[in-house]
């Protein structure tokens, strides 16, 4: 009997080792951390309600892969991009409860008790012929490209309380309200320009109660700077959607900004924040206009920890093609078409950018090497999950 207790004690000790290692990795010099992440999950479908129906019951293979990635990374606050939104915002809730909160392949479940899934501009009819094809009812005529309202939507999931009464959204803000906006040359009529919204999806300021602090999750998913013509209307919009955050964090430049509740101004000095999202802009490669991103990365209130992954540089060299001319590889977060003339190759487009007031403990990109655990999971999306650990004493 004594031997059995000894054996049991040894087994318990062995079983506890992974947990001890995990907890040690989630602390910096004994200080607890909160892991913020952004992930473009590419979970969009052709018809409204199709994704929700596919998710119900917990049997969606893509969602299981996405959930396992999130569980392997053990995320605390997660922005999901390209997640179709239904009117009741049930899709995000089903994904959280039936996938993230259920163990995938033996991983530790995550209970995202809080969710913010506001409306977006994608698929929202404008009544205007925005793509100049002679019609006003196509996906290119919506305030943000989409076949139905909510396609390519966003959702913020959190293990920490969301202060819903203090959330600010900027979905209705007009592009023309921005001083020195990059209006595409000789493209939009005066009527269209006056009505067009800046956000292709939305811009959100979602305050979170994290310990004794409030941390603002600043969320957006600007339009890709491609799929247009020589007028570069999407490139201009992508630039200005990113520039929004530059102005929002600069009090003397934020006077033009008004949220959907009619409240003017940006984020006050001294507030803690984390900018999160698929910004669809690489600092060095690809077709985007990079000036706004450069200004954001260099902003005195922002720090860029430059998360990296084991496989990014390796995949760039292995896939080659368009990657041959790239200046940045190790920080890539998306695996796009590598054939020259068809795709831009691998790019860094997904960002988690904390305030300089916050202390970064660790950061990374979930992109394992081919021989490493979880490598096959990345087939779930052409983007990779990006995470940053923030110390919360």
CB 267 within 8 A of CB 249: yes
pLDDT of amino acid 26: 60
Q: What residues does 347 pair with on adjacent strands?
A: 334
Q: What residues does 34 pair with on adjacent strands?
A: 390
Positive or negative torsion for Cα 143, 167, 245, 223: negative
- H/E element, 54: helix 50-55
CA distances from 40 to 37, 230, 277 (A): 10, 28, 8
Nearest residue to 334 (alpha-carbon basis) of 37, 39, 44: 39
CB 275 within 8 A of CB 302: yes
pLDDT mean over 366-372: 96
Residue 20 has pLDDT above 70, yes or no: no
Q: Where are the beta strands (DSSP E) in 44-158?
A: 77-83, 114-116, 154-158
Residue 12 has pLDDT above 80, yes or no: no
Give residue-wise pLDDT tens across range 100-137: 999 999 999 999 999 999 999 999 999 999 999 999 99
Alpha-carbon distance of 179 to 253, in angstroms, equals 9
Alpha-carbon distance of 101 to 97, in angstroms, equals 5
CA distances from 14 to 7, 26, 81, 185 (A): 11, 20, 39, 66
pLDDT category of residue 19 using cuts at 50, 70 and 90: very low
Q: What angle do CA 355, 358, 361 make, to 5 degrees?
A: 120
Residue 192 has pLDDT above 70, yes or no: yes
pLDDT category of residue 29 using cuts at 50, 70 and 90: low
Give residue-wise pLDDT tens across range 277-321: 999 999 999 999 999 999 999 999 999 999 999 899 999 999 999
The reply to whether the predicted model has a pTM over 0.75 is yes
- Report yes or no on 21 lying in a domain: no
pLDDT of amino acid 347: 97
Q: How many domains does the chain have?
A: 1
- Report yes or no on 4 lying in a domain: no
pLDDT category of residue 172 using cuts at 50, 70 and 90: very high
- Report yes or no on 17 lying in a domain: no
pLDDT mean over 244-253: 98
Count CA atoms within 13 Å of residue 256 on its CB side: 17
- Report yes or no on 3 lying in a domain: no
The mean predicted confidence, pLDDT, of the chain is 93
Give residue-wise pLDDT tens across range 32-52: 999 999 999 999 999 999 999
- Report yes or no on 14 lying in a domain: no
Alpha-carbon distance of 304 to 302, in angstroms, equals 7
pLDDT of amino acid 14: 42
Alpha-carbon distance of 332 to 317, in angstroms, equals 12
Alpha-carbon distance of 84 to 46, in angstroms, equals 10
Q: Where are the beta strands (DSSP E) in 344-391?
A: 350-354, 360-365, 386-391
Residue 176 has pLDDT above 80, yes or no: yes
Residue 73 has a CB neighbour count (10 Å cut-off) of 21
CB 206 within 8 A of CB 216: yes
Residue 237 has pLDDT above 60, yes or no: yes
- DSSP class of residue 300 equals T
Residue 23 has pLDDT above 60, yes or no: no
Alpha-carbon distance of 71 to 297, in angstroms, equals 29
Q: What angle do CA 294, 182, 333 make, to 5 degrees?
A: 40
Residue 228 has pLDDT above 50, yes or no: yes
Count CA atoms within 13 Å of residue 58 on its CB side: 10
Residue 10 has pLDDT above 90, yes or no: no
pLDDT of amino acid 393: 84
Task: State both tokens at 96.
Answer: 């959280």
Phi, psi of 78 (to 5 degrees): -135, 125
pLDDT category of residue 328 using cuts at 50, 70 and 90: confident
- Report yes or no on 290 lying in a domain: yes
Alpha-carbon distance of 233 to 237, in angstroms, equals 6
Residue 271 has pLDDT above 50, yes or no: yes
CATH code of the domain covering residue 242: 3.60.10.10
Residue 27 has pLDDT above 70, yes or no: no
CB 348 within 8 A of CB 333: yes
pLDDT mean over 16-37: 63
- Report yes or no on 188 lying in a domain: yes
- Report yes or no on 20 lying in a domain: no
pLDDT of amino acid 15: 41
Which residue range forms the structural domain that includes residue 219?
31-391
pLDDT of amino acid 17: 40
CB 381 within 8 A of CB 67: no
């Amino acid at each position: 009997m004594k031997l059995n207790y000894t054996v049991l004690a040894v087994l318990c000790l062995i079983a506890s080792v992974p947990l001890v290692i995990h907890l040690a990795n989630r602390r910096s010099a004994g200080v607890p951390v909160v892991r913020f992440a952004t992930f473009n999950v590419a979970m969009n479908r052709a018809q409204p309600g199709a994704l929700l129906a596919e998710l119900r019951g917990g049997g969606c293979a893509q969602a299981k892969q996405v959930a396992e990635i999130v569980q392997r990374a053990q995320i605390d606050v997660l922005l999901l991009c390209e997640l179709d939104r239904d009117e009741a915002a049930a899709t995000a809730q089903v994904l959280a409860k039936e996938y993230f909160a259920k163990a995938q392949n033996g991983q530790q479940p995550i209970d995202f008790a809080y969710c913010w899934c506001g409306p977006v501009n994608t698929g929202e009819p404008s009544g205007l012929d925005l793509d100049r094809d002679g019609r006003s009812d196509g996906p290119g005529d919506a305030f943000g490209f989409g076949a139905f309202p909510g396609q390519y939507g966003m959702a913020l999931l959190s293990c920490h309380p969301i202060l819903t009464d203090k959330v600010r959204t900027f979905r209705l803000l007009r592009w023309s309200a921005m001083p020195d906006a990059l209006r595409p040359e000789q493209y939009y009529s005066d009527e269209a320009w006056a009505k067009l919204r800046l956000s292709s999806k939305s811009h959100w300021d979602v305050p979170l109660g994290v310990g004794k602090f409030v941390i603002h999750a600043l969320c957006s998913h600007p339009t890709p700077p491609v799929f247009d013509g020589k007028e570069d209307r999407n490139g201009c919009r992508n630039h200005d959607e990113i520039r929004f955050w530059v102005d929002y964090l600069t009090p003397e430049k934020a006077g033009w900004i008004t949220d959907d509740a009619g409240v003017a101004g940006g984020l006050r000095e001294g507030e803690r924040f984390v900018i999160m999202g698929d910004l669809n802009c690489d600092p060095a490669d690809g077709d985007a206009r990079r000036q706004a991103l450069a200004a954001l990365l260099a902003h005195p209130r922002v720090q860029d920890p430059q998360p990296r992954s084991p496989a990014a540089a390796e995949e760039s060299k292995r896939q080659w093609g368009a990657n041959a001319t790239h200046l940045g590889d190790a920080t890539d977060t998306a695996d796009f078409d590598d054939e020259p003339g068809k795709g831009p190759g691998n790019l860094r487009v997904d960002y988690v950018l904390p305030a300089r007031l916050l202390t970064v403990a660790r950061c990374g990109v979930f992109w394992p090497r081919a021989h490493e655990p979880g490598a096959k999971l990345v087939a779930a999306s052409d983007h990779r999950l990006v995470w940053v650990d923030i110390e919360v004493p």
